[in-house]
């Protein structure tokens, strides 16, 4: 039997409560409403700047790394200093698809809500293959921010209902405007995979 009201793990419940707070802050009332991270960012006083806008501030070497060889190694970041008007600046990797940028933005918003140290865009070093390696962040903090952001995008209670009614990952992803990979992550971390498989692969979708 699936718990229908809250995630089965303590960690899951912890993230879910915070994710609910983020959704409420964005003005959402129902658990199956789509959360637009860009709306939430605006409500939270964040400025999500297009990369082209900050590109002139970077050295050409940094710019080339971020968009070229290094582009696979970063997804986004928040500036460590506030803008003069009090807003926080967030930059997303423009070479990534929109659903990935949205998940990254949710993660950055979560970092700020948790009061995590802002992640930095600074490039630390090159590895043995000469590839750019981004700073090594604290895993626990990253997990907390990503998981909370994912829970805000795809709430547990709505996910349980959709999985139980035999909806596919693709359908759920489309509903919430997120990537199928994020939905799969939410299903697995919420321990709904067996249920999902039983409902989707049996052909008995009721
Ligand atoms: Zn992060």
Convert the pLDDT of each residue in 75-91 to its tens digit.
887 776 777 888 888 88
> Cα of 13 to ligand 1 centre, how many Å?
20
**Run of H or E residues at 49:** strand 46-49
Spatial CA neighbour of 186 closest among 169, 171, 164, 174:
169
> Cα of 198 to ligand 1 centre, how many Å?
34
pLDDT of residue 139: 79
> Cα of 116 to ligand 1 centre, how many Å?
9
Spatial CA neighbour of 149 closest among 56, 13, 16:
16
Indicate the average pLDDT of the chain: 86
Residue 85 dihedral angles phi and psi, to the nearest 5°: -85, 10
Give DSSP secondary structure letters for 89-138.
EEEE-TTS-HHHHHHHHHHHHHHHHHTPPPP---EEEE-TTS-EEE----
Q: At what angle do helices 139-153 and 180-189 cross, to 10 degrees?
A: 110
> Cα of 165 to ligand 1 centre, how many Å?
33
Query: Does residue 15 carry a pLDDT above 80?
Result: yes
* Separation between Cα atoms, residue 103 and residue 182, nearest integer Å: 8
pTM of this prediction?
0.82
> Cα of 191 to ligand 1 centre, how many Å?
23
Convert the pLDDT of each residue in 84-128 to its tens digit.
888 888 889 899 899 999 999 999 899 888 888 654 544 455 556
Which token pair is 99? 């659903």
């Amino acid at each position: 039997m699936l718990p229908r009201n809250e995630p089965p793990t303590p960690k899951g419940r912890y993230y879910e409560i915070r994710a609910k707070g983020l959704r409420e802050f964005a003005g959402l009332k129902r658990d199956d409403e789509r959360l637009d991270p860009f709306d939430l960012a605006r409500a939270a006083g964040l400025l999500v700047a297009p990369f082209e806008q900050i590109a002139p501030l970077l050295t050409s070497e940094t710019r080339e790394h971020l968009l070229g060889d290094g582009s696979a190694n970063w997804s986004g970041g928040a500036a460590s200093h506030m803008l003069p008007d009090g807003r926080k600046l967030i930059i997303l990797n423009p070479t990534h698809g929109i659903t990935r940028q949205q998940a990254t933005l949710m993660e950055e918003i979560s970092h700020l809500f948790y009061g995590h140290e802002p992640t930095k865009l600074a490039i630390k070093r090159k590895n043995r293959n000469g590839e750019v390696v981004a700073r090594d962040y604290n895993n626990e903090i990253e997990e907390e921010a990503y998981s909370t952001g994912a829970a805000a995008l795809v709430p547990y209670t709505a996910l349980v209902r959709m999985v139980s009614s035999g909806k596919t990952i693709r359908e759920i992803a489309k509903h919430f405007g997120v990537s199928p990979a994020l939905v799969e992550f939410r299903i697995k971390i919420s321990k709904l995979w067996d249920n999902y498989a039983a409902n989707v692969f049996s052909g008995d979708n009721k």
